[in-house]
Amino acid sequence: MHPALELELCRTGFLRAPIGPPWAVHDALRRGRIRRLLPGVYVRSDDEAPDMMRAATLYLRGRGALSHTTALAVWEVSEFGHDDTLHVVVPRGTGLRSSGSVVVHTRHVLGGLRERSGLPVTMVEDALVDSWPYLDSARRTGVVFAAVANRLTTPDRLAVHLGRTPHLPGRRELVALVDRMAAGCRSPLEVFGAEHVFAGLAGLRRQVPVEVGHHRYYLDLYAPRQRVDIELDGAAWHSSRDQREADLRRDAALATRGILVVRYSYSRLIREPERVRSEVLAILATRRN
């Protein structure tokens, strides 16, 4: 292989044409030393797992950014598989086209681009809104909550970006989710509870901060008049022994403030929503009396 190509492969793991003499890349392809990932982007033939995000960035040549679900992976709120579709966005008129696993989206004007982990990406709000139609219902709410939980964005900022995309497929569902989050819901389980279990129950407040000693606790659903805290325990988060011990310490601390903690598991909320609602009403009535 020509020394210029060998040097570039050793340095970056990729080749981006043109590099070296015009015949060098063609000769390396003919001899099976390199293979093409994307137009003008090559790797060694024995590189079985190249960094496709890096390859897509080289394909862009500084003219755009990773976007949609690919940007979500860069923002670390979603995983990216080696066989996943790569999404990029460029200004109209650049001439870049979709190729292989890369889907090229165009915009009149690109604004608010960021750099993360050395890669150009769209803002997290743009990535979340753009990705909504591409994600199944099981994943789409999770990535939005993950972005907010990781303090990458807020429901208010998402609402602003949603206002700029009136024709987004599935927009009504995303608007409803953002509204729920703005009202205090901080997990998909809380959204389910708000919509299917606790809807219409007056006096319940979400994510209420309570100070006990040097600790601050946030109560999932709090009835201040009855001093009842309803906690919604996710299937994974509250299943470990350490988390269970932390929950018990938290409940005991809140008891010193006269707050009764009532916990409902993921399975009960999903399987017995009406029964859970009846129990909560009975508890609130008893505490009121």
269 vs 237, higher pLDDT = 269
Residues 69, 84, single domain; the answer is: yes
Is the same domain home to 155 and 269? no
Please tell me the predicted confidence (pLDDT) of residue 201.
86
Q: Is the pLDDT of residue 238 over 80?
A: no
**Boundary of a domain, candidates 182, 204, 233:** 182
Q: Based on the domain organization, do 21 and 91 belong to the same domain?
A: no
Last residue of a domain, one of 50, 69, 85: 50
If asked whether residues 83 and 151 sit together in one domain, one would say yes
Same domain, 61 and 84: yes
Terminal-residue alpha carbon distance, the chain? 85
| Beta bridge mates, 191 | none
Same domain, 194 and 176: no
Provide the pairing of β-strand 228-233 with 215-223. Answer: antiparallel
Using one digit for the tens of pLDDT, what is the confidence trace for 1-56? 778 888 888 888 888 877 777 788 888 888 898 888 888 898 998 888 888 899 99
Q: What is the CATH number of the domain that holds 259?
A: 3.40.960.10
Element (H, E) at 119: strand 119-121
The answer on 277 and 175 residing in a single domain is no
Indicate the number of domains in the chain.
3
Pairing of strands 260-265, 65-66: unpaired
Same domain, 68 and 158: yes
Structural domain boundaries, residue 277 = 189-288
244: phi then psi, degrees, rounded to nearest 5: -65, -40
